[in-house]
Amino acid sequence: MKTYALIVDVEKCENCNNCFLSCKDEHCGNDWPGYAAPQPPHGHRWMNIKRRERGTFPMIDAAYRPTPCMHCDDPPCLAAAEHDAVVKRDDGIVLILPERARGQRGLAASCPYGAIWWNEELQLPQKCTFCAHLLDGGWQQPRCVQSCPTGALSLFTGDSEQLQNIVVDEGLQVLPVGSGAHPRPRVYYKNLYRYDRCFIGGTVARMREGVEECADGVSVVLRQGRDLLAEAVTDEFGDFRFDNLVRDSGDYLVEIVVGDTIAAARPFSLGVSGSLGTIMLE
């Protein structure tokens, strides 16, 4: 059976907000009976782009995580709904039916991802519908995917076995929730480490004829205790970075290796992402 899932590549998201705006364009002031009542022009973010900065000067980056309804296979909102106000379709899409959900404010609180919004004027809980009215009408993509210029959002269409193969092959992840049963979301993330993990970075430089210059092509090693965790090579700016490290994961050692010699070594206690600054070679 054909099912849908959304794949989000965090590394490709540039925070252009096209997905957010296209959602607004599709749903603000538009009533789609059986799918969704009109979204209010302000307050709701059915495609909510989360932002996070990492690092310390001079090495800082920003990551953006588009976060819609997860269209869970075991949706908590379905369990919390009265009068069959929430339905889970065979194709994986979860809908809050506006004609049955009026007054059920508790549905917003039931979502562990904070993806259900309360419409005060209409007294309705509302969320991303995956543009089911368009897909049912023959569209190949929801508006958010169609409008994404970088390919950060892509739609999977296929059976569950095909989806799981992609999850394994591409190392996709789902967003974690707190304690309790996992709702099995159908939104998968690639390169999620850019948002929820940490890095250790730095710059290697050398003096040549009295002038400080970037040292490119220098080997750098990351160790923790006796374990060699990763190796890198400085780029044309002398920069290096070890990413996908767990926050508050303890003490590390960064070694700069020239030939067979450890030319410099710097300890780093990882709380959050940071830079060792400039390491000068003798």
Residues 164 and 258 in one domain: no
Which pLDDT does position 216 carry in this prediction? 96
As given in the structure block, the two tokens for residue 129 are: 């519908």
Please give the Cα distance from 28 to 132 (Å, whole number): 16
Residues 202 and 189 in one domain: no
Average pLDDT (64-92) is 97
Which pLDDT does position 96 carry in this prediction? 98
Which pLDDT does position 68 carry in this prediction? 98
Residue-range definition of the domain harbouring residue 127: 3-194
Which pLDDT does position 182 carry in this prediction? 82
Residues 158 and 218 in one domain: no
Closest to 250 (Cα-Cα) out of 265, 226, 272: 272
Specify if 84 maps to a domain: yes
Which pLDDT does position 180 carry in this prediction? 62
State the CATH number of the domain containing residue 253. Answer: 2.60.40.10
Whether residue 232 is predicted with pLDDT greater than 90 in this model: the reply is yes
Which pLDDT does position 183 carry in this prediction? 94
- Three-class SS of the chain: CCEEEEEEEHHHCCCCCHHHHHHHHHHECCCECCCECCECCCCCCCCEEEEEEEEECCEEEEEEEEECCCCCCCCHHHHHCCCCCEEECCCCCEEECHHHHCCCCHHHHHCCCCCCEEECCCCEEECCCCCHHHHHCCCCCCHHHHHCCCCCEEEEEECHHHHHHHHHHHCCECCCCCCCCCCCCCEEEECCHHHHCEEEEEEEEEEECCEEEECCCCEEEEEECCEEEEEEECCCCCEEEEEEECCCCEEEEEEEEECCEEEEEEEEEECCCEEEEEEEEC
Which pLDDT does position 202 carry in this prediction? 97
Residues 62 and 174 in one domain: yes
Q: Examine the fold and report which residue of 166, 194, 222 is the final residue of a domain before the chain moves on.
A: 194
Residues 138 and 22 in one domain: yes
pTM attached to this predicted model: 0.92
Q: Examine the fold and report which residue of 138, 168, 194 is the final residue of a domain before the chain moves on.
A: 194
Number of domains in the chain: 2
By DSSP bridging, strand 48-56 and strand 227-233 are unpaired
Average pLDDT (95-120) is 97
Which pLDDT does position 275 carry in this prediction? 96
| Residue of higher predicted confidence among 57 and 49 | 49
Of 51-55, 127-131, 151-155, 174-178, the poorest mean pLDDT is in 174-178
Of 10-19, 26-35, 208-217, the poorest mean pLDDT is in 208-217
Whether residue 181 is predicted with pLDDT greater than 70 in this model: the reply is no
Specify if 262 maps to a domain: yes
Residues 111 and 229 in one domain: no
Buried b (16+ CB within 10 A) or exposed e, 53-81: ebbeeebeeebbbbbbbbbbeebbbbebb
Specify if 115 maps to a domain: yes
pLDDT, tens digit (0-9, with 9 covering 90-100), for 188-227 = 999 999 999 999 999 999 998 889 999 999 999 999 999 9
pLDDT, tens digit (0-9, with 9 covering 90-100), for 250-260 = 999 999 999 99
Residues 132 and 228 in one domain: no
Residues 188 and 227 in one domain: no
Q: What percent of the chain has pLDDT over 70?
A: 99
Residues 207 and 126 in one domain: no
**Phi, psi angles (nearest 5°) of residue 84:** 55, 40
Which pLDDT does position 69 carry in this prediction? 98
Specify if 282 maps to a domain: no
Residues 207 and 180 in one domain: no
Q: Examine the fold and report which residue of 194, 209, 243 is the final residue of a domain before the chain moves on.
A: 194
Average pLDDT (113-127) is 97
Specify if 55 maps to a domain: yes
Average pLDDT (33-49) is 97
CB half-sphere exposure, 57, CA atoms < 13 A = 0
State the CATH number of the domain containing residue 57. Answer: 3.30.70.20
Please give the Cα distance from 51 to 22 (Å, whole number): 19
Residues 152 and 203 in one domain: no
Residues 121 and 186 in one domain: yes
As given in the structure block, the two tokens for residue 145 are: 């995917």
Q: CB under 8 Å to 70, separation ≥6 — which residues? A: 113, 115, 174, 175, 183, 185, 186, 187
**Residue 83 Ramachandran class (φ > 0 left, ψ -120 to 50 alpha, else beta):** left
Average pLDDT (45-63) is 95
